[in-house]
Structure 1
Amino acid sequence: MMSGIARMVRVEPCDPRDPDAICVMERLSGALVTLTGDGGTSSFDPAEVLLPRAQFVVARDAQGAVIGCGAYRPLEGDVAEIKRMYAEQRCGGVILAHLEAAALADGYRAASLSTRRVNVRAVSFYARHGYSEIAPYGRYADRPQSICLGKCLSP
C-alpha cells in the first residue's frame, strides 16, 4: 500500500545542471553546512551522474515544486553509490526507493553511500531502509567523521 506522501510525490530524472536541480542542491548544501560545517559539494561532480548507469532525480510535490533530490553513480563493479540525497516534506523514502529501483534496473546489485556521523538523522534514515555500516571506501577511508553504509539491492 502506498503512503499518502508517496502518492503526492513525483520522482523524475533531471539533468543536475537544470535550474531546479541546482536550487534544490543549494538547499541541501546549506542544510549540510549548518549541520556539519561542510556542504558536501567537493564529493559530487554533476558530470558523474550524466554517464551511463547513473542518474540524478528530483522529487516534486503535487503542485510541481521541487522538494528533494538524489543520485546514484557507478562506484565499482555492480555497486552504485548514492549521492546528494535530500528531502523536504518527508519524501526521502520515496526518493531512495526510486534510486534503488533504477540502480537495480541498471544492473547494480548493491548500493553504498557515505554521510557524516554527526548527521544522526541521515544515519538512522538509512538504517530504517536496510543500510548497515560497511568498511570505509575511497575518499572516506581516512575520514573518521564519515560513516559508510551499504545495502544489497533486490527486485
Structure 2
Amino acid sequence: MITIETSDLHSTDSLNLIERLSLELKTLTGDSGKSHFNVSSMDESGCLWILARDENRRAIGCGAIRPLTVNIAELKRMFSDRSIPGIGSALLAYLETWAKEMGYRQIWLETRHINLRAVNFYIKNGYIPIDNYGPYIGRDDAACFAKCL
C-alpha cells in the first residue's frame, strides 16, 4: 500500500530522498540536478511537495510542483526508491490532480535523454516531447515534456 501526503520539504525524510535522487542522477547523468532545484523556491504560492510512504510509514518517494507561469506547473524532484511497484504512478497522479485543482492547465518537466526509465515513464503517462524551455534551452542532453491537464 502506498500513501501520498504533503510534507515539509525540510524534514529528514524529504532531505534524505532528495539526496538519494541527486546521487542517482549524478551517477546516471553526471549532474545531480541540484542547480535546477532550490529548496527556497518551494516557499512561494502554487508549490506543493509530497512524499510517498509504504505501509510501515517509510518514505519511499517524493515529488514537487512549482509554478512556471500562471497556467503551467513544473514537475520537479520526482523520485521513487522502487521498493514496491506503483510509487511513481501514485506520486504523478497526486501531483497532476493537485495541479489541475490549482488551475494549472499544463505540467512541464525536464529529464535527460540518457535517463530512459524516466523518459519512458513520462511518455507512458501521456507526456509529449516539447522544445527545451528555460535553463534547458540549448542543452542537447535535456529532454523536455508537457502534458495538458
Normalising by the residue count of structure 1, what TM-score does the alignment of the two structures yield? 0.92
Give the counterpart of 1:113 among 104, 109, 113: 109
Task: Give the superposition deviation at 1:50.
Answer: 2.2
Q: Aligned partners of 1:45, 1:58: CA distance in 2, in Å?
A: 17
Partner of 1:39: 32
CA RMSD after TM alignment: 0.8
Structure 2 portions without partners, runs of 5+: none
Cα distance in 2 for partners of 1:105, 1:149 equals 21
Question: Any stretches of 5+ residues in structure 1 without a counterpart?
Answer: 1-7
Output the CA distance in 1 between the equivalents of 2:132 and 2:27. 24
1:21-74 Cα distance to aligned partner (Å, 9 max, x none): 000111111111111111111100112222211101111000000000000100
Counterpart in the other structure of 1:149: 145
Asked whether the equivalents of residues 68 and 86 of structure 1 are also in contact (C-alpha less than 8 Å), the reply is yes
Query: Is 1:135 the counterpart of 2:131 in the alignment?
Result: yes
Deviations 1:61-102 (A, max 9, x none): 000000000001001120000000001233100000000011
2: CA distance between counterparts of 1:131 and 1:51?
25
Q: Kindly report structure 1 stretches of 4+ aligned residues shifted beyond 2 Å.
A: none
Deviation readout 1:108-128 (Å, 9 max, x if unpaired): 010000001100110000000
1:92: which partner in 2?
A: 88
8 Å CA contact retained: 1:15, 1:50: no
TM superposition score normalised by structure 2: 0.95
Q: Which residue of 2 aligns with 1:48?
A: 41
> What is the number of equivalent residue pairs in this alignment?
146
**Alpha-carbon shift at residue 17 of structure 1 (Å):** 1.1
Q: Letter of the 2:38 partner, please give it.
A: D
